[in-house]
Amino acid sequence: MTDARTPDSSRRSARSRRAIHDAALALVDEVGYSRTTIEGIAARAGVGKQTIYRWWPSKAAVLMEAFLDLAQQASAEAAGAEGAEGAGGSPSGGGGGAIPDTGDLAADLRRVLRATVDEMNSPVYDGPARALAAEGIVDARVGAEFVEKLLEPQLRLYADRLRAAEAAGDLRPGLDPRIALELFVGPLTHRWLLRTLPLTHDYADAIVDYAVNGLAPRP
């Protein structure tokens, strides 16, 4: 089959996709995951239900893609807000690339955790991300898809950076990078989801210091 789409129709498709993403995220934020429907998304996006079913097999699939799109935007914005520093940003930016390796593990982690804090504090991200996380917590199938498609790709970026640190002799021998990364993402996610105390850059810096240097005195 040949692709009969003209440049104009692809532009229309891109616009429709973006409208569908925006509608899905707004709805899940307002009414929660379980009351968000394909019908509701279609009505809000001003497209037919068939348009959605042509591109996505399920509500979960629309939401995962919308969310990935959102995280990429948030990450790009956070990188933009950093000004000249530019590169980096939060790993939840999906395809958004590796954690920088300047040779200074703590500095690189501070930078990525600060960007993650900014993203978690961003209102456009917070509502839909909470709705999706809450549904994954009670519905194991949604949770598994959320973890596989959205979370694990981010965690792999931490594991990669920690493996580079290991190769450079910056990790205690025998540590498992897949466990070590949880000392960073665990505390930040805990504060964000449970809203125990403010999520700030100072907090991100403290977590990096505590985890890298440990709680026990160093000789």
In the bound state with a second copy, the residue whose beta carbon lies nearer, of 51 and 149, is 149
Q: Output the smallest distance, CB 52 to a second copy, in A.
A: 24
Residue type at position 158: Y
In the bound state with a second copy, the residue whose beta carbon lies nearer, of 85 and 176, is 176
In the bound state with a second copy, the residue whose beta carbon lies nearer, of 46 and 103, is 103
Q: Output the smallest distance, CB 174 to a second copy, in A.
A: 10
Q: Output the smallest distance, CB 38 to a second copy, in A.
A: 21
Give the tokens for residue 210. Answer: 């505590």
Angle between helices 105-121 and 123-138 (to 10 degrees): 90
Q: Output the smallest distance, CB 141 to a second copy, in A.
A: 11
CA angle (95 as vertex; 89, 96 as ends), nearest 5: 20
> Please, what sign has the CA dihedral across residues 188, 80, 88, 111?
negative
Cα 206 to Cα 180: distance, rounded to the nearest angstrom: 16
Considering only the C-alpha atoms of the chain, give the largest distance between any 2 of them, rounded to a whole number of Å. 70
By the criterion CB under 8 A, which residues form the site for a second copy? 32, 105, 130-131, 133-138, 140, 143-144, 146-147, 151-152, 155, 162, 165, 169-173, 175-176, 178-180, 182-183, 185-191, 193-197, 203, 206-207, 210-219
Cα 12 to Cα 39: distance, rounded to the nearest angstrom: 20
In the bound state with a second copy, the residue whose beta carbon lies nearer, of 81 and 175, is 175
